[in-house]
Amino acid sequence: MKNIFKYLVLIVLTLTLGCSEDTVDLVGLGTVTGRVVEADSFNPIENSKVTLSPTNNAVFTDADGYFIIEDVEVGEYSVSADKEGYLTNYQAATVSDGLEVNVIFEMDDETALNRPPLTPTLLTPTNGIEDQELSVELIWQSSDPNDDAITYRLEIKNDYNNDVIKVESLTDTTYVVSDLKYGKKYFWQVAATDNINDEVLSAVSTFKTKVDPENRYFYTKKDENGNNVIYSVNYNDGDVENEVMLTSNDLNSWRPRKNQAAGMIAFLRTYNNETHIFTMNQDGSSATQVTSAVPVNGFDLNEIDYSWSSNGDRLIYANYDKLYVINKDGSGLSMLYQTTDGSFITECDWSNDESMIALKTNDISGYNVSIFTINMSGVVQTTILSGVNGAAGGLNISVDNKLLLYTYDVSEYENSNYRQLDSHIFLYKFEDASVLDLSEGKNDGTNDLDPRFSPNEADVIYVNTSNDGVSQKDVYVMSTEIDNERELYFSNVFMPDWE
| Residue 16 or residue 422, greater confidence | 422
**Contact by Cβ (8 Å): 475, 450:** no
| Residue 213: predicted pLDDT | 80
Q: What is the mean pLDDT of residues 245-263?
A: 94
What is this structure's pTM? 0.68
In order of start, what are the domains of the chain with their CATH numbers? Answer: 29-107 (2.60.40.1120), 121-209 (2.60.40.10), 217-498 (2.120.10.30)
Say what the pLDDT of residue 19 is.
46
Mean pLDDT of 322-345: 98
Q: Is the predicted pLDDT of residue 22 greater than 80, yes or no?
A: no
- Model confidence band, residue 460 (pLDDT cutoffs 50, 70, 90): very high
- Select, from the ranges 109-118, 144-153, 233-242, the one with the highest average predicted confidence (pLDDT): 144-153
Amino acid (one-letter) located at 101: V
CA distance linking residue 375 with residue 149, whole number of Å: 72
CA distances from 48 to 101, 202, 305 (A): 19, 40, 77
pLDDT of residue 13: 45
Average pLDDT on 449-468 reads 96
Residue 40 has pLDDT above 60, yes or no: yes
Paired with 343 in beta bridges are none
pLDDT band for position 498 (cuts 50, 70, 90): very high
Three-state secondary structure call for residue 29: strand
Mean pLDDT for 284-288 is 91
pLDDT at 17: 46
CB 193 within 8 A of CB 199: yes
Query: Residue 483: its pLDDT value, please?
Result: 67
Residues 199-213 have pLDDT tens digits of: 999 999 999 998 888
Across the range 173-179, mean pLDDT stands at 93
pLDDT over 50 (residue 196): yes
Q: What is the mean pLDDT of residues 358-386?
A: 97
User: Which whole number is the average pLDDT over 328-350?
Assistant: 97
Cα separation, 49 vs 40, whole angstroms: 20
- Say if strands 129-132 and 205-209 run parallel, antiparallel, or are unpaired: parallel
Give the CA radius of gyration of the chain: 43
Other C-beta atoms within 10 Å of 496: how many?
A: 23
Residue 20 has pLDDT above 60, yes or no: no
What integer pLDDT is reported at residue 2 of this predicted model? Answer: 46
Averaged pLDDT for residues 383-398 = 98
**pLDDT band at 9; cut points 50, 70, 90:** very low
Find which of 4-8, 81-85, 122-126 is predicted with most confidence, using mean pLDDT: 122-126
Return d(Cα 136, Cα 383) in angstroms, integer.
53
* pLDDT surpasses 90 at 60: yes
Give the model's pLDDT for residue 405: 98
Residues 6+ apart with CB under 8 A from 406: 360, 371, 384, 385, 392, 393, 394, 395, 396, 425, 426, 428, 451
Give residue 23's pLDDT band: very low, low, confident or very high (50, 70, 90): very low
- SS3 assignment, position 219: strand
Give me the mean pLDDT over the 79-97 stretch: 93
Q: What is the pLDDT of residue 414?
A: 97
- pLDDT at residue 154, as a whole number: 97
Is the pLDDT at 272 greater than 80? The verdict is: yes
Q: Report strand pairing: 264-271 vs 459-466.
A: unpaired
pLDDT of res. 208: 96
